[in-house]
């Protein structure tokens, strides 16, 4: 797997290019179970492409942990898609050290291409309860704007 660029500037995109159904995936979690996007139908899903070496990912990871804790009961699911070349042990050790409380899966080129050829990290896709991409963020988003978008999707049934 090739390394991707880290985008320092915060750019928020809600573009028509990402509108429509979220690409499905079946990826292996660090615990060895298969995680499918379809399993989360009816929930708001935050799909976050990240890597252990990505500076911006380290900035937003505590926010994701906080969001998971705050909004899980309201229907938020966070899936961190690790795009690391390193093995599961390195990713698991990193996630444990950061106290990650959400699902981490191992990404690959196929899922990166399906989500618009992910090359910069972090990248986050918000998927609404109907399975459609409702938001896309490249780089570290504005924390308040990010949380407001999530709250709005959680209010929609």
Which pTM was predicted?
A: 0.88
Average pLDDT on 78-96 reads 96
Residue 119: its pLDDT value, please?
87
Given a cut of 60, whether residue 106 has pLDDT beyond it is yes
Domain count, the chain: 1
DSSP class of residue 53?
T
Average pLDDT on 40-46 reads 96
Which CATH number characterizes residue 135's domain?
A: 3.40.30.10
For residue 75, give both structure tokens. Answer: 């229907």
CA distance 84 to 91: 8
Q: What domain range is 124 assigned to?
A: 5-155
Q: Using CA atoms in the order 118, 122, 128, 134, what is the torsion angle rounded to 10 degrees?
A: -70
- HSE value, Cβ hemisphere, 13 Å, CA-based, for 1: 20
User: pLDDT tens-digit profile of 124-146?
Assistant: 999 999 999 999 999 999 899 98
């Amino acid at each position: 797997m090739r390394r991707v660029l880290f985008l320092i500037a915060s750019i928020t995109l809600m573009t028509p290019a990402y509108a429509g159904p979220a690409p499905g995936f079946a990826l292996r979690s660090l615990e060895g179970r298969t995680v499918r996007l379809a399993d989360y139908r009816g929930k708001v899903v935050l799909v976050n492409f990240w890597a252990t070496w990505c500076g911006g990912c380290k900035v937003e990871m505590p926010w994701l942990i906080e969001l998971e804790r705050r909004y899980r009961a309201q229907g938020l699911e966070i899936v961190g898609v690790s795009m690391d070349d390193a093995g599961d042990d390195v990713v698991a050790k990193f996630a444990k050290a950061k106290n990650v409380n959400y699902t981490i899966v191992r990404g690959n080129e196929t899922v990166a291409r399906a989500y618009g050829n992910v090359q910069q990290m972090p990248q986050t896709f918000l998927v609404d309860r109907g399975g459609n991409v409702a938001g896309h963020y490249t780089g570290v988003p504005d924390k308040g704007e990010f949380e407001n978008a999530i709250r709005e999707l959680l209010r929609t049934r």
